Amino acid sequence: MKIAKNLFVAIEYCLSLDSGEEVDRSRTGNPLDFITGTGQIISGLEKEIMGMEAGDSANITVEPDDAYGPAREDLVHEIPRSQFPADADIKPGVKLQAQSPNGPIMIVVKTVEDDTVTVDLNHPLAGQRLHFDVKIVEVREPSAQELSTEAGGCSCSTESPDNCGPGCSCG
Q: Which domain holds residue 43?
A: 8-68+126-150
Please indicate, yes or no, if residue 157 is contained in any of the structural domains.
Answer: no
**Do both 44 and 115 map to the same domain?**
no
**Do both 130 and 63 map to the same domain?**
yes
- Look at the chain and report how many structural domains it folds into: 2
**Do both 34 and 53 map to the same domain?**
yes
- Single pTM value for the model: 0.76
pLDDT of residue 152: 43
Please indicate, yes or no, if residue 102 is contained in any of the structural domains.
Answer: yes
Please indicate, yes or no, if residue 161 is contained in any of the structural domains.
Answer: no
Q: Which of 99, 107, 101 is nearest to 77 (CA)?
A: 107
What is the CATH classification number for the domain harbouring 106?
2.40.10.330
Of the listed ranges 90-104, 106-120, 147-161, the one predicted with least confidence: 147-161
**Do both 130 and 87 map to the same domain?**
no
Please indicate, yes or no, if residue 58 is contained in any of the structural domains.
Answer: yes
Is pLDDT at 36 greater than 50 in this prediction?
Answer: yes
Please indicate, yes or no, if residue 159 is contained in any of the structural domains.
Answer: no
In angstroms, the Cα distances linking 74 to 49, 109, 111 are 33, 15, 16
Q: What is the mean pLDDT of residues 42-61?
A: 97
**Do both 100 and 135 map to the same domain?**
no
Please indicate, yes or no, if residue 145 is contained in any of the structural domains.
Answer: yes
**Do both 103 and 21 map to the same domain?**
no
Integer distance in angstroms from the first to the last C-alpha of the chain? 30
Please indicate, yes or no, if residue 57 is contained in any of the structural domains.
Answer: yes
| Vertex 170 angle, CA 44 and 2, to 5° | 40
Written as one string, the DSSP assignment of 35-73 is ETTSSSS-HHHHHHHTT-BTT-EEEEEE-GGGTT----G
Q: What is the mean pLDDT of residues 48-61?
A: 98
**Do both 80 and 106 map to the same domain?**
yes
pLDDT category of residue 32 using cuts at 50, 70 and 90: very high
**Do both 138 and 108 map to the same domain?**
no
pLDDT category of residue 170 using cuts at 50, 70 and 90: very low
- Indicate the average pLDDT of the chain: 87
**Do both 98 and 14 map to the same domain?**
no
Rounded to an integer, what distance in angstroms lies between the CA atom of residue 136 and that of residue 12?
A: 7
What is the CATH classification number for the domain harbouring 18?
3.10.50.40
Please indicate, yes or no, if residue 167 is contained in any of the structural domains.
Answer: no
Q: What is the mean pLDDT of residues 76-92?
A: 90
Q: Which of 115, 65, 112 is nearest to 92 (CA)?
A: 112
pLDDT tens digits for 128-163? 999 999 999 999 999 988 887 754 444 443 333 343
**Do both 12 and 54 map to the same domain?**
yes
